[in-house]
Amino acid sequence: MHPFRLSLACLLALSSAAASAREYAYSDAHLHYVDFFQETAGMPKLLKAMTDNRIEHVMISGVPVAKKWHEDEPKRPRYYAGDDADAYWYSATDVIVAAAVSKLTAEQRHRFHPFLSGFNPNDKNSAAHIQRMLDLYPGLWQGIGEVFTRHDDLTALTSGDTPRANNEAMTRIYHLAAENDLPVMVHSNITSKREKNPLYLAEIEEPLRNHPHTQFIWAHAGTSAEIHRHQVRLDFLLPTLTRMLEAYPNLFIDLSWSLLTPYLLDEQGKPRQEWLALVERFPERFMIGSDVVGRFNKLGKEMRSFDPFLDALPEDVAKKVARDNFLAILPRTISR
């Protein structure tokens, strides 16, 4: 072929590829407005990050615990694992979120979907507290969570008993959630850092079975960076998720960052076929989230990191995972 024709053909091919490249509108299904010290970069920075990165909707929640700066610690910790001081349940986190959302214009508010999180999941009074918050802010709350139950080292650092997703206090909350058509996002680790079996699976599976009218979003599908630091990848995760999605139509999976690698993408950043097949089989049951905590400068990067996986899905499925599935799980009274 003549060199000019070859170059022209290459340009046309590149132009065609660029024209067919997908651009996603996102719903961030997992965002914390504050960090573990109940501090935030603020709503103006969050709005700018959303606008700059085609993030049309966000689940916005607080953080249900606050990290103590202990009297014996000379330096303020930067994270909950920064030292051995404990964390404690912090109900005012919801007031911070409510205040921030209430200052938005009606057009801006349409993009935010507040979830209640500021309660102790071991306290059987918590259902009554949630009802009070629903009454105090009518029409504001669209879900419950992220509820911290089994949560790596944070479980040991948090004052009080070990929280479980299947305790009596949470049972009361699941009933309340179903009555109010509120989805519940639960962080419940599937195992410990060292056990190579689904040690804590019953703690999330029992509520799924016993509360079929409650919609559950399982944060990170029970995985965490701390688990991966010790075990790299859980070989039992994919078959376990497959079985659970078959058995429980009220189960939805938050694919936020700890699932991206080493599960959705391999070591070279290429999508794993077995995970693509799972999402294609259950196209309305997966959603993506950034899981940022109080800082929003990396929000767009976190959401776009899912693009290689989304690009390998059929386009209609990819759009559901990127944006629509989160919106579909919200209360039926919420306009989309």
User: Which tens digit of pLDDT belongs to each residue from 5-46?
Assistant: 445 444 444 433 443 589 999 999 999 999 999 999 999 999
Q: Is the pLDDT of residue 81 over 90?
A: no
For the domain made up of 24-328, the CATH class stated in words is alpha beta
Closest CA to 182 of 136, 101, 127, 220: 127
Q: Is the pLDDT of residue 292 over 70?
A: yes
The secondary structure of the chain, three-state, reads CCHHHHHHHHHHHHHHHHHHCCCCCEEEEEEECCCCCCCCCCHHHHHHHHHHCCEEEEEEECCCEEECCCCCCCCCCCCCCCCCCCEEECCHHHHHHHHHHHCCCHHHHCCEEEEECCCCCCCCCHHHHHHHHHHHCCCCCCEEEEEECCCHHHHHHECCCCCCCCCHHHHHHHHHHHHCCCCEEEECCCCCCCCCCCCCHHHHHHHHHHCCCCCEEEEHHHCCHHHHHHHCCCCCHHHHHHHHHHHCCCEEEECCHHHHHHHHECCCCCECHHHHHHHHHCCCCEECCCCCECCCCCHHHHHHCCHHHHHCCCHHHHHHHHHHHHHHCCCCCCCC
For the ranges 6-10, 109-113, 258-262, the one whose mean pLDDT is highest: 109-113
User: What pLDDT does residue 335 have?
Assistant: 59
**Average pLDDT in the 300-306 region?**
97
pTM for the model: 0.92
What are the residue ranges spanned by the domains of the chain? Answer: 24-328
The position carrying tokens 């990396």 is 298
> Which residues are CB-contacts of 96 (< 8 A; sequence separation ≥ 6)?
33, 34, 38, 40, 62
For 119-151, the pLDDT digits (tens) are 999 999 999 999 999 999 999 999 999 999 999
User: What pLDDT does residue 262 have?
Assistant: 86
Count Cβ atoms below 10 Å from residue 63 Cβ, excluding itself. Answer: 27
Residue 265 has φ and ψ, to the nearest 5°, of -120, 145
First vs last Cα of the chain: how many Å apart?
Answer: 53
For 61-76, the pLDDT digits (tens) are 999 999 999 998 888 8
